[in-house]
Structure 1
Amino acid sequence: MLPAGWLIAAVFVAILLTSWVTFTLTRLDRLHARVDAAQSALDAQLVRRAAALLQLAERPDSTLAPDAAHALVDTARAALAVQHWQQDERRNVENQVGRAIAGLQQDRARLPADAVTELAEAAARVVIARRFFNDAVRDTRTLRARRMPRLLHLAGRRELPLFFDIEDTSVFTDSPAIDRGPGTTPSPPT
């Protein structure tokens, strides 16, 4: 028979191990929920950006050449037609949208100001949403890569989330001077 001290120590170790597994499992579930929420937010911002591009291209006062406007409409509609979160297809279509928006930068002064503002905001929101999504994916993959969650299969049958990398570094920017709100003066260019 085991002495009482060893039995108490074994129960204590079992409680600690069970608590750790429960904590890790809960954290992993929360991280997967965070990935899902960030993916939904990113999807909404990608749709908003494509809709803003479509609106700009279809406006009669956009001053775009008819063939350029038609190409933008086709690009925006292709992005809006992607129904599911299919990584490769979505990435290719969104890269085309990003390149189309970057190509409008030189014609910015001739385009309607309200449509330009909406497109610039939508493009900036995509950058932010993509960062949030990729941060959530990174945190989830980091926890899942640890030895114990891997050995105990704490993620269950959930797929390993993938990063979403698109070419969105050339954002459709407003201007070189940044408006910081009322009562502030812009900093001089460096």
Structure 2
Amino acid sequence: MLPVGWLIAAVVVAVLLTMWITFTLTRLDRLHARVDAAQAAMDAQLVRRAAALLHVAESANSGVPAGRRDEYDGIAQRALAAGDAGHERQGVENAVGRAVTELAELPEPLRPDAADELREAAARVLIARRFYNDAVRDTRALRARRLPRLFRMAGRRELPEFFDIDDTLPVPTRVDPPTRH
């Protein structure tokens, strides 16, 4: 028979291991929920940016050159029709980002409210993508540890992928300060 000390040590080790597994499973579940929420928020901001581009392209007095309206309209339509965050979606969103940057760099500036709408939408995409990629990084780091891999704590959930697009913010247009009379 085992001495009482060994029995107590075995129970303590079993309790500590159970607590660690429970803590890790809970953390992993929360991280996956965080990834899902961040992805939903990022998708919403990507749709908002594409809708802003579509609105500016369709507005007759927004300042977009008439010859480029159809091009920007088509880019926005493809972005709005894009599916989940995959490599194809990343390419479409890169095209939207380039279009927003091109519009900000036009020789003739856009109408101020149109430029503000595009700039704000682009800034929101930048922030949402950072939150999403931070959540993915944290989830992947926990899942990459030895014991979570050994015990297959993630279950059958797919490993989340980073969403990498060029979300460079457009340069703000110059605004001349008001003159004093």
TM-score normalized with structure 1 length: 0.88
Matched, 1:110 2:106: no
Aligned to 2:68: 68
Alignment map for 1:1-16 (pairs within 5 Å)? 1-16=1-16
Aligned to 2:53: 53
In structure 2, distance between residues paired with 1:13 and 1:28: 22
Q: Deviations over 1:42-91 (max 9, x none)?
A: 00000000000000010010232222011000000100011x31411110
Aligned to 2:142: 143
In structure 2, distance between residues paired with 1:76 and 1:57: 9
Instruction: Kindly state the Cα deviation for residue 105 of structure 1 after the two structures are TM-superposed.
Output: 1.9
Q: Which runs of no fewer than 5 residues in structure 2 stay unpaired?
A: 176-181
| Amino acid across the alignment from 1:38 | A
Which shows bigger deviation, 112-121 or 150-159?
Answer: 112-121
Aligned to 1:77: 77
| Amino acid across the alignment from 1:157 | R
Instruction: Kindly state the Cα deviation for residue 108 of structure 1 after the two structures are TM-superposed.
Output: 7.0
* Closer, same or farther: CA 78–147 of 1 in aligned 2, 3 Å: same
Moved over 3 A (4+): none
* Residue 172 (structure 1) aligned to one of 147, 161, 170: 170
Instruction: Kindly state the Cα deviation for residue 109 of structure 1 after the two structures are TM-superposed.
Output: 5.0
* Closer, same or farther: CA 6–127 of 1 in aligned 2, 3 Å: same
Q: CA RMSD in A?
A: 1.5
